[in-house]
Amino acid sequence: MTAPGLVKVALEVNGASYEREIEARKTLADFLREDLGFTGVNLGCEHGVCGACSVLMNGAVVRSCIMLGVQAEGCAVTTIEGLAQGENLHPVQQAFLAHHALQCGFCTPGMILAAVDLLARCPQPTETQIREAMSGNLCMCTGYVNIVRAVSAAAEALRSGRKP
Amino acid sequence: MKPAPFLYYRASSLEDAVGLLNGPAANGKVLAGGQSLVPLLNLRLARPEALIDLNAIPNLSYIRLEAGEIVIGALTRHREIEFSTLLAEKLPILVEAVRQIGHPAIRNRGTLGGSVAHADPAAELPCVLTALDATIVAVGSGGERTIPANDFFVGHFATVLGDGEILKEVRIPLAESLAGWSFLEFARRHGDFALAEASVVLYAGHPGHRSARVVTGGTVERPLRLSTVEKFAVEEMPLPIDQDSFAQTLKRAEELAKMEIRSSDAARSDSEYDCHLSGVLVGRALKQAIERGSNP
């Protein structure tokens, strides 16, 4: 039980441990951006419609703008910053680059994390499954054709170990 | 900061949560998956004095088979229902309905209890649970009580849940005589709130169906059982299907559905479009349920 004021949160982000005291009303998105510096968490609609702020929580894609920071207590969060290994892009990132699946890039972190969630449980998705899995992420510039191609290529790359 | 300030309580057990709701957090809201409540907080459409977070409560998330009933804990995420092998086998209609809730990110967080207690007229679970004759188990300071889904939803975002009560689990009877089912919805885009929904469950009898439960949602304030369509399905739609007259019979069922929705006090508008959409969906769901039952 916690009185007004600050609540202690301990969590892991991209493999590193953090402990902070935050206001209970702070969303996970604002906590990640403002307190921990993960500005790859992009904020679009801020009420759970656009998907730009998607992160992985214990491996499952969630919208960080409609979760409270204090609810990440004890959780392992992955943001877009946590996917690449040094200079080596994650296969999904590589595929987005190779297939021109982004233009302004604002929706891209959420798109990529939604794709990572899909491919973790469905390594060989059909186009319909890809479209369904990505349907919660809105893109206002490219249209979705290259995004679907990129996710498909990433699936293939993850299965074969070759570059997308 | 988007939400207005509130006191935050992290409940350690359901008893703890009920105690808080009947004590220091009496004017509070219960936070489960937060997929409806947190957007309302962000927009400041909801400004509760306190939040009681259920997410740290152990043993409130489960899907079990108990004495002929499927029992699902309030904190069970939609995703767990979607991928449950037990439910895929025993209650595919529930899996089908849950797959149509929002998007993967929503289903990863959203919970059965949250959706049922929130009672959005456009939500999938109230409609399908009413069709399945489910029972809602609520806990308050006086103990537990069970409420049939058909009596639980009373209006637009309104249930019979008391101020000091929390939803604990949902129990769904498994009928051996289940002989066909369907859950259909119509939304403008994939994952959007449904404009209309229809849920049909048929029970076997001879020569046709012993009973039917036909429920519509979305265009009505609460899940609405269509008793004229249920009666029609039992009395006027014998099995095996007569292919020559099937389309015409379905058309009559559709017209009955439209009439009943139009005259219901649960109708949200007198819009001809809403009525038409619901009627067409009821007809399609009835067709799918009968065909599924005929070709198991």
Domain residue ranges of chain B, discontinuous segments joined by + = 7-53, 63-173, 178-294
B7-53 CATH fold: 3.30.43
Query: Which pLDDT score, from 0 to 100, does residue B242 have?
Result: 84
Whether residue B55 and residue A48 make contact (CB cut-off 8 A), yes or no, is no
Q: How far apart are the first and last CA of chain B?
A: 54
pLDDT band at B296 (very low <50, low <70, confident <90, very high): low
From B34, B42, B79, residue closest to A60, measured CB to CB: B79
The ipTM estimated for the assembled molecules is 0.93
**Per-residue model confidence as pLDDT tens digits over A63-95:** 999 999 999 999 999 999 999 999 999 999 999
Whether residue B105 and residue A54 make contact (CB cut-off 8 A), yes or no, is yes
Same fold, B7-53 and B63-173: no
Give which of A95, A106, A104, A109 is closest to A147, Cα–Cα: A95
**Per-residue model confidence as pLDDT tens digits over B136-175:** 999 999 999 999 999 999 999 999 999 999 999 999 999 8
Residue A3 reports pLDDT greater than 60: no
Residue A1 reports pLDDT greater than 60: no
pLDDT band at B30 (very low <50, low <70, confident <90, very high): very high
Whether residue B5 and residue A67 make contact (CB cut-off 8 A), yes or no, is no
From B1, B104, B109, residue closest to A23, measured CB to CB: B1
A54 vs B: CB within 8 A? yes
Query: Which pLDDT score, from 0 to 100, does residue B239 have?
Result: 83
**Per-residue model confidence as pLDDT tens digits over B46-98:** 999 999 999 999 999 999 999 999 999 999 999 999 999 999 999 999 999 99
**Chain B residues touching residue A67 (CB < 8 angstroms):** 34, 38, 109
CATH of segment(s) A91-160: 1.10.150.120
Query: Which pLDDT score, from 0 to 100, does residue B112 have?
Result: 98
Query: Which pLDDT score, from 0 to 100, does residue A4 have?
Result: 55
Whether residue B42 and residue A47 make contact (CB cut-off 8 A), yes or no, is yes
> What is the pTM for the complete model shown?
0.94
A6-82 CATH fold: Ubiquitin-like (UB roll) (3.10.20)
From A57, A66, A121, residue closest to B34, measured CB to CB: A66
Whether residue B38 and residue A27 make contact (CB cut-off 8 A), yes or no, is yes
CATH superfamily entry for domain B178-294: CO dehydrogenase flavoprotein, C-terminal domain (3.30.390.50)
**Per-residue model confidence as pLDDT tens digits over A148-162:** 999 999 999 999 988
Whether residue B34 and residue A3 make contact (CB cut-off 8 A), yes or no, is no
Whether residue A68 and residue B20 make contact (CB cut-off 8 A), yes or no, is no
Residue B207: asked if its preceding bond is cis (omega within 30°), the reply is yes
Same fold, A6-82 and A91-160: no
Q: What is the mean pLDDT of residues A89-112?
A: 97
Top residue of B6, B103, B120, B189 to mutate, by most chain A CBs within 10 Å, is B103
| Inter-residue long-range contacts of A101-107, CB under 8 Å, 24+ positions, other chains counted | A101/A142, A101/A146, A101/A147, A101/A149, A101/A150, A102/A142, A102/A147, A103/A141, A103/A142, A104/A140, A104/A141, A106/A42, A106/A44, A106/A52, A106/A140, A107/A42, A107/A44, A107/A50, A107/A51, A107/A52, A107/A137, A107/A138, A107/A139, A107/A140
Q: What is the mean pLDDT of residues A88-113?
A: 97
Domain boundaries, chain A: 6-82, 91-160
Q: What is the mean pLDDT of residues B214-235?
A: 95
For domain B63-173, which architecture applies?
Answer: 2-Layer Sandwich (3.30)
